[in-house]
Amino acid sequence: MSCGRLAGWLLVLPTALAWAPGAAARAADYAVTDSAWTGSMPKAVLLSPDGERAYVTNFGRRGSRNVSVYRTADLEEVGQVDFAGNGVEMAVTGDGRTLYVSNFRRALVEIVDTASLTVTAEVPVGRNPKTMALSADEQTLYVSNWSSNDVSVVDLATRTETRRFRVGAHPRGIAVTEAGTLIVGNHADDTLSFLDAATGDPRFEPVGPGGCPRHVILSPDERWAYVSAQSTGQVVRLDAATGEVVARWDGGRNLKTIDVTADGRYVFTTVNLGTEVGVIDTEDGTTRYFTVRGIEKPSGLDVTPDGKRVYVTGWLDCHLYVLERREPAPGEAPAAE
């Protein structure tokens, strides 16, 4: 399907992948309620802290409309961010005023003022930067550099790279705990590095969850780290303090982005070799899949804290989709009439 063709029938059907045991999960039902055309190859989607905006990086754009901005109430595009190069992933400050965008082609981090949607500074980092993580005090930005096999440490007060931490081959996913542990997924090594976020010293030897670890997130209480193992189609749960693998769950073929609800109950996945979004119930480890008709290669994903809305990008069909929960989640009291 070409990018100019309207994608999707605005319909979601729950499906069980034949190879995925335990597909009859307790996750609530979801349906697509809206979609919007994006720029070329929408990579990531990120919600603003107040939930009123959705930012989408258009990886296929190299000089304009690198980030599209949508009003979440109706998916109307309300602005764009332009810069030379192409955007990959994003991070945003807690007050929503500053957006960080990794510029893959030019080895930069773009610092964007969200009020004016203009780039206020560019910070040189390693080669082909991908995912970023903000420290708890928002004074430091950590950037995984795919081609230089390291992590840039950016001082946000001076807007300069202060040092680099050497990690494994092709680092991608990255997360940092409030206690100061930096967790990095080394995609080509099938390992995770656990580092002291201040010094870069290893906390312990790299952990091998296998499966080309792609995306790394933390549970809200930071007890667990969740990793999408891209080649094995699993979401791996690890103890964030020790690196011990404690669970593996089916998440879909060629997993990309994952996210977790604010209560830690559900982990959402994008199934890049299918047309599905997966929802894992972390209490019983079962997964429920939803097919988004019209989407081609689901890539980016962000979920509202309450899990009621899911935003997903279609890499090849060039659309942003919104899925809404159609029933209370298991154990959740229904709304009063």
Task: Specify the residue for token string 């945003």.
Answer: 92
Structural domains of the chain, ranges and CATH numbers in brackets: 12-39+127-325 (2.130.10.10)
Can you tell me which residue has the tokens 């029933």?
327
The model's pLDDT over 96-137, given as tens digits with 9 standing for 90+, comes to: 999 999 999 999 999 999 999 999 999 999 999 999 999 999
pLDDT in tens, 220-254: 999 999 999 999 999 999 999 999 999 999 999 89
Q: Does the structure show a pLDDT above 50 at 198?
A: yes
Contacts of residue 162, Cβ cutoff 8 Å, sequence gap at least 6: 153, 154, 155
Residue 331: the pLDDT is: 60
Q: How many CA atoms lie within 13 A of 186 on its CB side?
A: 23
Tens of pLDDT, residues 178-191:
999 999 999 999 99
For the chain, give the mean pLDDT: 91
Position 20 pLDDT exceeds 80: no
Determine the Cα–Cα distance for residues 90 and 6; give it in Å rounded to an integer.
Answer: 26
Query: 4 pLDDT band (50/70/90 cuts)?
Result: very low
Helices (H), 135-281: none
Selection from 277, 275, 335 nearest residue 303 by Cα: 277
Q: How far is CA 275 from the centre of its chain?
A: 17
| 274 contacts 266 by C-beta, under 8 angstroms | no
Using one digit for the tens of pLDDT, what is the confidence trace for 141-164?
Answer: 999 999 999 999 999 999 999 999
Q: What average pLDDT does range 63-74 have in this prediction? A: 96
Higher pLDDT, 57 or 328: 57
With H, G, I as helix, E, B as strand and everything else as coil, classify residue 110. Answer: strand
The pLDDT of residue 332: 63
pLDDT tens per residue across span 163-178: 999 999 999 999 999 9
Residue 254 neighbours by CB under 8 Å, 6+ apart: 230, 231, 233, 271, 272, 273, 274
Termini Cα distance of the chain:
43
- Res 333: pLDDT: 54
Q: How far is residue 142's CA from residue 227's CA, in Å, rounded to a whole number?
A: 18
**pLDDT band for position 45 (cuts 50, 70, 90):** very high
